[in-house]
Structure 1
Amino acid sequence: MVGRAIGKKLTEAWGQPVVVENRSGAGGMIGTSAVAAAPPDGYTLLLVSSTFTINPAIKKSMPFDTIKDFTPVAFIARSPLLVTASNNLPVNSAKELLALASSKPGQITYASSGPGSVNQISAELIALSAGVKLMHVPYRGGAPALNDLLGGHVDIYVSSLPQVLQLAQSGQAKALAVTSAKRTALLPDVPTLDESGVAGFDLWSWWGIVGPAGMPANVVNALNSEIGKMLNSPELSKFLSNEGAEAETMTPQKFGDLMRLETERWIKVAHEANISID
């Protein structure tokens, strides 16, 4: 949906059709490989998310290098994750959750949409940062993971905001904390993990646009400038806000730095938590 919203605005700005093509398969590897091999002329771009920097950490072999084989073009938006708990779990805050996890090492269960998913690696980062041990329960997708959270068969789930926002607002699950350094306007009463005792914790899911390695600087800068204008438009800002995200612009260089730092962070977490899907 984010890709189509950006494509629509680019089409309007340039008067040229921008085709959004879904290349699914192999956890995004097929589409990503196609862009890595495309001519670096600015006509073929790739919408990436934070999973782009997680894959190198959890996969033993990759058909491309996420840093060397791509050109950072434009950052789009970021969104905090939400730590939710089953109503059956006897906690009402992240502080209580971490205290319970500390008293019961490895007994508090967390759901994920599968091994190596953002849900798993984010929960493990929280556990490592808080000095507690959690038990991973992987599912085949987010829907069955959520169903078992609501049914009380698993204790917690760390998820993107859109996936669990309505459930948290309706009281079907407990919203314990957001993973960002500041609270979200969509759940202003829910504290951050930093406020809950995990000092300095700051984690977001994010979206950006990259292209093949070797793109000319003038093309990259032109794309960055045009996409930046769109992010400041009321229409796109509202769309992203409805997805639980905040539009944000940054230079291609700054976006590249973020990708490198994120990749390094996830490699460290995957190593310490022994996460691998190969």
Structure 2
Amino acid sequence: MIPGQFEYHAPSTLDEALALLAEHGSDARVLAGGQSLIPLMKLRLASPGVLVDLNGVGSLSGIEEAAGQLRIGAMTRHSALERSELIASRYPLIADAAAVIADPLVRNRGTTGGSLAHADPAGDRGSGMTALGAEGGVAGPGGERTLSIDELLLDPFMTTLDEGEILTEVRVPQPTDGSGGAYEKLERKVGDFATAAVAVQITRSNGSCSAAGIGLTAVGPTTIRASEAEDSLLGSSLDEEALRTAAELAAAASDPAADLRGSEEYKRDMVRVLTLRALRRAVERAGG
């Protein structure tokens, strides 16, 4: 099928984009990489009257560390994160997730901000940003504000962005020495949506765990933070027993639904397995 008729705008600045959204209201949709919106439009499941294409807004792309944060522009492609030496060396969790998002075509076009704003519970970006304690910079008619990724992701395909707002960047705290992260994904075939996936970020200080983040993908209505599993790791030596305990707690935190990819019991068990794998890799990367 082909999309319905729509009006197309290609602003070159963020202010122009915001003005267009304000002018057209609920009839307008933002176009980022188009890897989710365009297929929906072709199926007539989405029929915006106006598309505001952000690909010409240069200020929304880029990867840099500054003022104690990693700043990722919302229009930064998944493939850019996959290829970045900075990401690979200091934020391996982000690199892990980028490498298993769909296929090269999607990674070359899809964007970090678009993926988060789409809020697919099976998407590979949300849980990693949750585990990393990331936040999103948002611009809109009321000015700028900041949301944690936990606050941003509301329900399946729903965020807390208000009408006329744009997610402009993602900010991740710079890791300290002794930090490591990993992303483990179970999929039926390469490029498939996750049956289940787990993101882990840990920090070891003076021989014990001083910080831990665990995010779960595709086992609930939105990304899940496994808070009890995180808490169980704090103060531990990150030995095998501590990792196994955290994995059990992460599985208990999941809320999977049975579908063609597996039963609730199977998915919950896979969360346990994937969490343990991710924790082991994260500890190894942290120098443990």
TM-score (norm 1): 0.25
TM-score (norm 2): 0.24
Higher helix proportion: 1
Larger relative contact order (CA 8 Å, sep ≥ 6): 1
